Amino acid sequence: MTTLAEEVVRTFGSPSLMIDLDRVDRNIARLQAACEAAGLANRPHIKTHKSPDLARRQREAGARGLTCQTLGEAEVMAQAGLTDILISYNLLGADKLGRLTGLLRRTALTVSSDHPAVVVGLAEAAQAAGRVLDVVVECDTGRGRAGVATPGEAVALARLIADAPSLRFAGVLLYPPEDGTAATQAFLDAAQEGLRGEGLAAGIVSTGGTPNLRHLGEVRGATEHRSGTSIFNDRMMVACGAATLDDCALEVVTTVVSRATPTRGVLDAGSKTLTADPGGGLDGYGLIREYPQARIHKLAEEHGFLDLSGVAAGPEVGTVVRVVPNHVCVVVNMADRLVATRGGRIVGEIPVAARGRR
């Protein structure tokens, strides 16, 4: 009796990344339904899977467009014929702006910005392409990441965008803190009022985040949502209540390669597979489906060290197990392909086509 994981290892080697397409389809449908119920367009973030094949599934399920975090991701998606792409990232420098010009000649894009220097570059790139580029203003409503810090700066940047002949002010990009609906609403309302005073309107009001799906629709005036992780889910999403373990569609298939003592073991998945991402303070670097009491307590590059003291009968050397990773987006980025399964059978492989592209 060979398990599916063993079959994956036999065919594709160990470690491999395996996805369950039934779960993927269910996760895609659930996100789409949630957006529709909230009256929002669905613009999934493809940084999680970096795959045109999976992006196409999301579009076919009803997604309005796609979100990319890098220019390279957008190039790969556009090359595959996917349209309506938002790049939620400040693009800067001759290399990126030259490539942006090339991409704009082939497809319509929306790009975000939080700084006048970025707007200047975007205007030049769009002018060189002979196209008008839609630009949204990224706003920081409390996370302390990218984004303008005040509604006044948002309005000033929108003015600058609107005044550039090759750009069009398209709206605002938000990434609300998980407990930050009120702060986000206050920022957005003030920005909207300022925009009206300038004769401008935010056609797009984009919110984001898979954990924020529980607050979907709470920001009044939002028009769309960006969720990446929900297509696969991971331990972090389980920990924050955004998913159950049964919703986790990607598993790292890995082999027990050493058992020095009854309480110690080693997987062939280390930091070059699982990554050192602590998942915001989770215990260990992944959950072993077959041995949930085992702890992956430490990683070397090609070794995942197991504490089996809580396990009655630990796995033998050679045992193949499935690990739900802490943070699926960075784990996918380590691989060149995903092994696709459905109904307990291998049905193909999906290239992580945009990996390594920026």
According to the binding rule CB under 8 A, does residue 168 interact with a copy of itself? no
Name the H helices within the chain. Answer: 4-12, 21-37, 52-60, 71-79, 93-106, 116-129, 151-163, 181-197, 235-239, 328-332
> Measured from the CB of residue 137, what is the shortest distance to a copy of itself in angstroms?
12
Among 42, 51, 58, 70, binds a copy of itself (CB under 8 A): 70
DSSP output for 100-155:
HHHHHHHS-EEEEESSHHHHHHHHHHHHHHTSPEEEEEEE-SSS-SSSBSSHHHHH
Cβ(264)–Cβ(308) under 8 Å? yes
- How far apart (Å, rounded) are the C-alpha atoms in residues 160 and 227? 29
Instruction: Name the one range near a copy of itself by CB under 8 A: 4-12, 28-36, 200-208, 232-240.
Output: 4-12
Size of the site for a copy of itself (CB under 8 A): 60
- Does 49 bind a copy of itself (CB under 8 A)? Our answer is no
Q: Which residues contact 261 (CB under 8 A, 6 or more apart)?
A: none
Q: Tell me if 13 contacts a copy of itself by CB under 8 A.
A: yes
Taking CB under 8 A as the rule, does residue 300 contact a copy of itself?
Answer: yes
* Binding of a copy of itself by 179 (CB under 8 A): no
User: What's the burial of 206, exposed, middle or buried (CB within 10 Å: 0-12/13-18/19+)?
Assistant: buried
> Can you tell me which of 118, 216, 237, 248 binds a copy of itself, judged by CB under 8 A?
118
246 interacts with a copy of itself by CB under 8 A: no
The residue from 33, 37, 117, 347 that contacts a copy of itself (CB under 8 A) is: 117
CB of 235 vs a copy of itself, minimal distance in Å: 14
Q: Does 149 bind a copy of itself (CB under 8 A)?
A: yes
**CB contact set of 222 (below 8 Å; sequence gap of 6+):** 40, 174, 205, 206, 207
CA atoms of 263 and 313, how far apart (whole Å): 10
The one among 90, 184, 207, 223 contacting a copy of itself by CB under 8 A: 90
Contact residues for a copy of itself, defined by CB under 8 A = 9-15, 47, 69-70, 89-90, 92-96, 114-115, 117-118, 140, 144-149, 255, 257-261, 264, 266, 268, 271-272, 275-278, 300-303, 305, 316-318, 320, 329-330, 333-336, 356, 358
